[in-house]
Structure 1
């Protein structure tokens, strides 16, 4: 019985209670950690690899189940903004699709996007936070820094959203409202690129509308972006926009992977070490990779942890026949005991999975 001095916790709302009773996705073991030869931990999840057009090449778990793509949705949001007239140098366009670490070049880039369109950081409507990168956060705190909207890892996207409103004469204030013209365009673009209607809508950590989609749908979208052809007029500096917004976003991310994440981040390393790959991660154990030939991989780790995301992704790429030898440094992680390796975090063997010709 609750103490009279302490208010009783409110009962959960009916919708939340109903959601908790919903059927759980049928995830499968995708990665495991060993210590001295014994399996210590297992990470479950789902994955899919698709061919151009959406044909499934490899799958595990339940890739058709709805999930929230979190920050892996950013490249699709960037495509919507380019379609609406956003025209930025390649480094700044890459930042619009970023979950950046909060280095000086990231914060300066977000400020430049605002300044180019007559705006200040006061226009940002994202949440406040410290820099995401460990080293960047420590340096920020040593300098007396506090959580700000500019330091938050989505500030490049939010600066671009405010800028897109200026370009189109839309209200800047309230640009995160799902009924705002910008967010309506984003929703239409996401539906077109994924080839599916969202199963639900929520709000991401930064405040942006967030759509529930399938791994298969997100893989289709990344395959389309990665295979988009650049126009012949693209300059080496990336200032001249290609004909297709999809190509503009993909080109900027490939050319400036350091702006998409940052120093020491595995997404940046993957794009540097695997030429032509288009990669974006998301909170709650999500990884997307598109390949220049239109194939793509989408991974969701069920427990939301981050450590299994990249080993599983690299193993899926290997199963597709991609040469992943350059990715050895991010494909596994050593397990330490007393400061020395005693085990390994590694992906499960997907070779036992049978590719299917089904189209999801």
Structure 2
């Protein structure tokens, strides 16, 4: 495994934190065109898999059959943060879909965002499965099982037909045989998949450029899904989070996962990127992605500015004093430099 320094954080000129990792960018021929570190490092998608895991729903007619709005449909791809608009949409979906909250395998929890979590605790409200950030994904799993005639029981097991279907979809998008996909268990209890970083980047290239997908039904499902993510970016995460900021840009399909994994595809440039921060930090994603876009001379400067506002280069203390700085330390290496 070869990793390199991606970001350094310093305070009063003294190095305080170092984030190392890998980055890979691929073109439409699925060739590595940019890299930092090892582009073949096996990496779990974690929640970056959610758009792929949502595709059985979009391959079916569940959304139209049960009258879901596109805003609600975006939650199938989401790591929602438990804001009131997330909960309201999930409650609406429960009323429309043949799904009960008790069937969701994700554990009961409080929202991820501080304000709604504290409000619920102060109001003495208990944890719910619906508040778990993976609730939309699990709702999609149960709905897909019912629609496709699969048993709901055990949908979280890797041998279940739904999970096997998802693995076949992932294999097609990442262009890696099922036999070479590493399978683990995610935080919410369902299978989580690992592939080389290059193949992960290829997955997001195809989500951004579905014409590269050979299967016409899968291509149509992606064409139906990703616009919902772009139209309702706040549903995929929430305001002031990198996924929602990037998805405001209609040219980008993006989703992050736990333990420092981030993926995005650029539609017009026809490039897919995947990165892994090895210490698992999510805080430096905006810095890294902004630098990637700057280095490839991305033309939407507003997107880059929004990313920079999420993680400013100046470190401020609690009193608003400038006490340090955050600097990216990597250069994308073109493929010819391999």
Do they fold alike, i.e. is TM over 0.5? Answer: yes
Offset from partner CA, 1:189-211 (integer Å, 9 cap, x none): 01110111344211100111111
Verify the 8 A CA contact 1:72 1:282 in the aligned structure 2.
yes
Query: Given the alignment, which residue of 106, 126, 134 partners 2:106?
Result: 126
Q: Secondary structure at the match of 1:114?
A: helix
Of 281-290 and 262-271, deviating more is 262-271
Q: Secondary structure at the match of 2:38?
A: coil
| Number of matched pairs | 321
Query: Given the alignment, which residue of 13, 22, 28 partners 1:46?
Result: 22
Offset from partner CA, 1:67-126 (integer Å, 9 cap, x none): 111000101111233224433432122100100111122223223333323222111111
Q: Match for residue 214 of structure 2?
A: none
Offset from partner CA, 1:16-65 (integer Å, 9 cap, x none): xxxxxxxxx32110001122333322100001111113121210111211
Task: Give the Cα–Cα distance (whole angstroms) in 2 for the partners of residues 186 and 130 of structure 1.
Answer: 28
Q: Secondary structure at the match of 1:150?
A: helix
Offset from partner CA, 1:216-238 (integer Å, 9 cap, x none): 11111111111226xxxxxxxxx
Query: Given the alignment, which residue of 309, 323, 326 partners 1:342?
Result: 323
Task: Give 1 or 2: higher helix fraction.
Answer: 2
Task: Give the Cα–Cα distance (whole angstroms) in 2 for the partners of residues 271 and 193 of structure 1.
Answer: 20
Give the direction of change, closer, same or farther, for the CA distance of 1:193–1:243 in structure 2 (3 Å limit): closer
Q: Shift in Å at residue 323 of structure 1? A: 3.0
State which structure, 1 or 2, has the greater radius of gyration over its C-alpha atoms: 1
Q: Residues 119-268 of structure 1: matches in 2 within 5 Å?
A: 119-197=99-177, 198-228=180-210, 244-268=220-244
Q: Shift in Å at residue 305 of structure 1? A: 1.5
Q: Shift in Å at residue 183 of structure 1? A: 0.8
Q: Shift in Å at residue 170 of structure 1? A: 1.6
Q: Secondary structure at the match of 1:264?
A: coil
Report the aligned-residue RMSD: 2.2
Q: Match for residue 90 of structure 1?
A: 70
Verify the 8 A CA contact 2:174 2:202 in the aligned structure 1.
yes
Offset from partner CA, 1:125-184 (integer Å, 9 cap, x none): 112221011222222222222322110000001011101111112212221121211111
Q: Match for residue 306 of structure 1?
A: 282
Task: Give the Cα–Cα distance (whole angstroms) in 1 for the partners of residues 175 and 62 of structure 2.
Answer: 24
Q: Match for residue 250 of structure 2?
A: 275
Q: Match for residue 307 of structure 2?
A: 330
Q: Is residue 355 of structure 1 aligned with residue 334 of structure 2?
A: yes
What TM-score do you get using the length of structure 2 for normalisation? 0.88
Q: Match for residue 9 of structure 2?
A: 33
What TM-score do you get using the length of structure 1 for normalisation? 0.83
Give the direction of change, closer, same or farther, for the CA distance of 1:325–1:349 in structure 2 (3 Å limit): farther
Task: Give the Cα–Cα distance (whole angstroms) in 1 for the partners of residues 46 and 280 of structure 2.
Answer: 11
